[in-house]
Structure 1
Amino acid sequence: MNIEEILAKLIAFPSVVGMPNQPIVDWIGDYCRAAGAEVTILRGPEGDRFNLFVTIGPREVPGYILSGHMDVVSASEPAWTADPFVLRREGDRLYGRGTTDMKGFLACAMAALPGLAAMNLRRPLHLAFSYDEEAGCRGVPHLIGALPGLCTRPLGAIIGEPSRMQPVRAHKGKAAARLEVIGRSGHSSRPDLGLNAVHAMAGVITQAVAYSRTLESGPFDPNFDPPYSSLQVGVVSGGQAVNIIPDRCTADIEVRAVSGVSPSSLLEPVRARLFALRDSGFDVAWHELSAYPALSLPEESKLAALLVTLTGQEALTAVSYGTEAGLYQQAGIDAIICGPGDIGRAHRPDEYIEIGELAACRKMIENLGSHLAA
């Protein structure tokens, strides 16, 4: 199968984040086995979602990981001009949900497998395909935790998020949480008899916004825009009607942290303000939604130099979006971002990838195979 045929099969699986993914995992596993690879399927704690680890070459020596995620965001936007789960070609563009983010990269890695198997690699190449990346990198920590039993510690991991095939050395870390306030309902004519959860949450949000402005004072990393950590409240929900005292309110909040700053630590002042509401009679809850660390790969790293050689492009210092790369680095494995497509096309109607971008990605993977065979 060529890249386009593989990509068509991958797009046909509506592997939306947070949903069971066994059909796409089984199909990828069968394809990789037929190409001569060793395949390990790893069930996640959810029970209905799986990570996939594939190896070409000897496991007992260090090699490299090609890392990608099998899930996609939903395709419910009405602006799609055709079925988002049927790959369609128009000129040099291939349209469909996940073409750029990031099934195009998966298709390139899979299409290269038969050729890699024929190279008799002296060092291995691994494919690490995860689930629920779009929910805050929930699947890959379980895969990374299993690596010591799957292979010798890798020399590095290439995360194939869309970067126009330009190696990227850094991104911010992220943490997100859902805040919940539970008060006491009643008729709005007697506010003295109730506990208004929306009003209480408003106080928490007001202080969170004020706190977010203090982050603009640093620490700074000039490689990012903006060059400081940030906080925003993205979703607020509460209340039933204007004449009912709302007894429940939730707010979703996120932080983006520059390198060297723990994302979760940035949320601690907000958490403290939330739990202080208990002194006023409210019940509260804090639900962690996602968290992953920043990526910061030194310019002089061997992995960065290798990717410059493999792609023929100079490395880009940083991007604004987040990936699984920081989690690999946190586990002691150097990581870098490099993949086909443009992040500006991701999570949008009529998402597409260009034929030439897929060809460039496959060429990079084949060059890596030659490096591992030398």
Structure 2
Amino acid sequence: MTPKDILAKLVSFPTIPAVSNLDLIGWVGDYLARHSVPFTLIPSPDGTKANLFATIGPDVPGGVVLSGHTDVVPVDGQTWASDPFTLTLRGDKLYGRGTCDMKGFDAVALALVPDMLAAGLKRPIHLALSYDEEIGCLGAPLMVERMVADGLRPAAVIVGEPSRMKVVSAHKSGLRYWVKVTGKSVHSSRIDTGVSAVMVAARLVTWHDDRLRRNAAQADKSNPFEPPYTTLHCGTIEGGTAPNITAEHCRFTAEIRAIPSEDGEALLDEFRQFVDRDVVPEMKRIAPESRVDIDVWTSVKGLRPEDNGVAEALARRLTGDNGTHVVAYGTEGGIFQAGGYSTVVCGPGDIAQAHQADEFIEEGEMVAAERFVRGIIAELAA
């Protein structure tokens, strides 16, 4: 099967977060079994999804992990010119949900399995396909834990997120959390006897905006990130029941995307201290039952530049890219790096296409990715 053949099959599985990826994983498993490639499934805690980890080549240290996720974002509310779950060629672009982010890379890696088997590899190539990357990199940590527990020591991990085959050596970390405010509901004419959860939440949202402005004002303009500082953002908010009733409940989502030289957890701790010191005591003086709860639901590790990193050197050698590239979006790269593995991001497609209606990947990007993976095969067979 060609990369395009496999991409068409992968796109046909609507692996949005609300849907299991087991049909896709089952198809990949059957494909690998037909080539006598052993693989392991690492299921989600509830068993509805799974990671797949496969090894081609000898059981020796070294080698390369080709890492990709199998999930895609939903298409709800988007207008597509063609069925998002049917691969469609128009001009030199392949359209479909996940073509760019990131089933294109997965398809190239899988299509070259026969070449890997025929190459006489002296060091192994590992395929690592995860679930639920799009909602917080939920699957990859289980896979990395398994790799570490099994004593696997690959020399490099290539995370094939769309970078137009540029070598990305760093990205920001990401924290996402709910802030839930419980106040006391009274008639607004006697607001002095109640606690408005909406108005408290407004103070907490403003805290995030203040820190964002502070970070922007203090930014090192030479920092290669765009923007060149740690960002804070509140994306959704809901609360209250009527204009003349102090809101008993309000909640909002917030996120922190920290540059590698800064600690997002430390900034979250600063927020917690503000809440505990300056906000909650005032609430409780009026209504002892009032409270603020902060629930972290996503924590994605950042990717740091490595001194003399094996993965970076390999990717630069094969792509000829000697530029310095960092990205603001998160990947599973930081999870592999935290597990002790040298890691870079390098994959086909443009991140600008990710999550968009009429998502596409250019055929030339698929060709470049195939050339890159063939270079890895040649390196490990030498």
Superposition TM-score, scaled by structure 2 size:
0.93
Structure 2: unaligned runs, 5 residues or longer:
285-289
**CA 1:116/1:22 → structure 2, altered by over 3 Å: closer, same or farther?**
same
Asked whether 1:284 is paired with 2:292, we answer: yes
Q: Which runs of 5+ in 1 are unaligned?
A: none
Match of 2:118?
A: 118
C-alpha distance in 2 between matches for 1:295 and 1:317: 12
> Partners of 1:150 and 1:91 in 2: how far apart?
46
The Cα shift of 1:307 comes to: 0.9
**What fraction of aligned residue pairs are identical, expressed as a percent?**
39
Q: Which residue of 2 aligns with 1:310?
A: 318
What is the CA-CA distance between 1:224 and the residue it aligns to? 1.1
Q: 1:139 to 1:244 in 2, by over 3 A?
A: same
Contact 2:66 2:160 in 1 (8 A): yes
Distance 1:266 1:28, change over 3 A: same
Q: Check conservation: 2:156, 2:343, Cα contact below 8 A.
A: yes
Q: CA RMSD in A?
A: 1.8
In 2, the alpha carbon distance for the partners of 1:319 and 1:306 equals: 19
Displacement, 1:151? 5.4
Whether contact under 8 Å (2:61, 2:155) holds in the other structure is no
The TM-score with structure 1 as length reference comes to 0.94
Residue 352 of structure 2 is aligned to residue 344 of structure 1: yes
Deviation at 1:90, TM superposition (A): 0.8
1:63 aligns with 2:63: yes
When residues 187 and 140 of structure 1 are mapped into structure 2, their CA distance, relative to the original with a 3 A threshold, is: same
Please, which moves more after superposition, 236-245 or 129-138?
236-245
* Per-residue CA distance 1:39-66 (angstroms, 9 max, x = gap): 1000122331211101101223221101
One-letter code aligned to 2:232:
L
C-alpha contact 2:310 2:342 (8 A) present in aligned 1: no
Corresponding position of 1:233: 234
Q: Which residue of 2 aligns with 1:134?
A: 134
What SS is found at the alignment partner of 2:161?
Answer: coil
Map of 1:301 onto structure 2: 309
- Superimposed CA distance per residue, residues 226-277 of structure 1 (whole angstroms, 9 cap, x where no aligned partner): 2221212121111233233321111111111111222222211222233444
The residue number in structure 2 matching 1:19 is: 19
- Aligned to 2:112, what secondary structure does the other structure show? helix
Structure 1 residue ranges (4+ consecutive) displaced by more than 6 angstroms after TM superposition: none
* Deviation, structure 1 residue 312: 2.8
Deviation, 1:189, is: 3.9
How many residues are aligned here? Answer: 374
**Aligned pair 1:85/2:85, yes or no?**
yes
C-alpha distance 46-215 of structure 1, shift in aligned 2 (>3 A): farther
Cα deviation per residue 1:48-91 (whole Å; 9 max; x = unaligned)? 12111011012232211011111111111332122211111112
Deviations 1:263-300 (A, max 9, x none): 22221122223344432232221111211222122364
Distance 1:104 1:140 in 2: 19
CA contact (8 A) 2:15 2:72 kept: yes
1:274 corresponding residue in structure 2: 275
Do 1:176 and 1:290's aligned partners in 2 also have CA atoms closer than 8 Å?
A: yes
The alpha-carbon deviation at position 150 of structure 1 amounts to 4.3
Query: Does 2:326 align with 1:324?
Result: no
What is the CA–CA distance in structure 2 between the aligned matches of 1:234 and 1:271, rounded to whole Å? 19
The residue identity in structure 2 corresponding to 1:161 is: E
Q: Does 2:374 align with 1:366?
A: yes
- Measured in 2, the distance between the counterparts of 1:182 and 1:32 equals 52
